[in-house]
Chain A
Amino acid sequence: MSWPALYAQLVGTNRHSTSLGKVWLSVLFIFRVMVLVVAAESVWGDEQSDFTCNTLQPGCENVCYDQFFPVSHIRLWSLQLVFVSTPTLLVSMYVAYRNHCDKRRILQGQEEELESLKKRRLPIAGALWWTYLCSLVFKMMFEGGFMYALYVVYDGFQMPRLVQCDQWPCPNLVDCFVSRPTEKTIFTIFMATASSICMVLNLAELAYLVEEGTGREEKPAAGRER
């Protein structure tokens, strides 16, 4: 299971998304997963080996690195992307469940009906609307949560060039130098921006869904009035 397999899973649910959802999926995979795999991982690749402290004391570098980088950016982003993609699987599970129920009802149906069942596009109404809404809410929660966690752990989105550490076994206050701080800052800001764009897309999709849902309720009421 890796990024291409996850992409294959999520593309299958695209049929039941709104157009904003399709845009969101593309932004997620092109600007975040691809950038992570192709660029960001190489920038952070040597983060520990090139983390240098001004001391020969064995163990000081390990301890200082651990103090300033409890969780690497790369791992946080990978987890964020996995968690953010998961609510979409909720929607695909619901669609599979609906197809299974309908398949039972048309058990005596012909082959073409069963095939069209797999290829049909369910309208986003009723229980599917609620499932979709829940998935959007969870997506936004995970995005916001992980961005906040990154902000809190690293005191902002900027990577310092120099950190000072006096944890045992370092003999005194030693200067430790982070490798490629500017490049890391650029990528952190890029990923944070992409994450915010995804959140904005989710918000817009939420508003669109709510508007469509309430609009559908008003239309039959208007029809009744006439």
Chain B
Amino acid sequence: MNWSGLENLLSGVNKYSTAFGRIWLSMVFVFRVMVFVVAAQRVWGDESKDFVCNTKQPGCNNVCYDHIFPISHIRLWALQLIFVTCPSLMVMAHVKYREGKDRKYMAGHQGSHLYANPGKKRGGLWWTYLVSLVFKAGFDTSFLYILYRIYHGYDLPKLSKCSLAPCPNTVDCFISRPTEKKIFMLFMVVSSAICILMCILEMIYLIGKRILKMINIRNENQRVVFADQHELTAITPPRSQYRRADPTLAESQLSLSKREKTEGRQKTTLL
């Protein structure tokens, strides 16, 4: 299992994501995983070997390195990328569960479906998707915060002073390639921040769409209730009210329709 295995696993999630989600996934894999694998890992490759302290005391190098780098940036980023990409698997699991339920229903009810489209974000799946977004943003933020705390604000000093045993006194220790490391750290921090922003935008989009839908449904219902409760009356009164009887006209000439005329003639003959 490596990064390409993870990518294959997550490529199936694209079907059930919004447009924001697809862009987010591309961003993560192109700008973060790829830059991590292709460039950043090499920069940190020799960090332990080329960490040099101004002393010949055996063990001092090791102890100072361990004090300055409790966990290497590379390992933190690898963990961050794994944690950040995994909540999408929750959505996939939910969709697979729905498909399984649908299949069981089909088997029992002669081919009729329980879910018209198991991948559509309705009901429980909408909540799962929202929770996965919250987790993604949460993991990214917490890893950024951990990096900030461990390295005192994304700082990589060229020189650090160390006075732990067995170092004889305060020794100067020099990191390898501090400028290059700082450049890549900034790059990874900025891309994490962009990904967090995209998650937040996606959440706003999802919630906004849902609220809009609910408002539309409510308006529609109100219209139906209004139509039910009020009797529909004609806006204009029937035509005969507007007809002013001409006193000079004969009885037979008063009505305009042939039916009324024949009825009127019948009435007079009956009389």
Contacts and interface: CB of A to CB of B under 8 A. Distances in A.
Interface residues on B, range: 35 or more
Interface string A60-80: 011101100111101100110
Interface centre among B22, B43, B158 (most CB of A within 10 A): B158
Given A58-B53, A82-B34, A82-B35, A66 B4 contact: no
Contacts, number: 100
A49 B159 CA distance: 19
B39 interface: yes
Interface stretch (B101-109, B144-152, B174-182): B174-182
Interface residues of A, number: 32
B19 A2 contact: no
A59 B180 contact: no
Nearest to A67: B179
Q: Give the secondary structure class of B's interface.
A: helix
A208 interface: no
B141 interface: no
A38 interface: no
B52 A75 contact: no
A49 B46 CA distance: 9
Interface string B24-47: 001001110111011100110010
Interface of B: 3-4, 7, 19, 22-23, 26, 29-31, 33-35, 37-39, 42-43, 46, 49-50, 52-55, 158-159, 172-180, 183-184
Given A66-B179, A93-B22, 16 more contacts: A1-B4, A1-B29, A1-B30, A1-B33, A2-B37, A6-B34, A48-B176, A48-B177, A59-B53, A62-B50, A62-B52, A70-B180, A71-B179, A82-B38, A93-B26, A169-B174
Interface of A: 1-3, 5-6, 41, 48-49, 57-59, 61-63, 65-66, 69-72, 74-75, 78-79, 82, 85-86, 89, 93, 96-97, 169
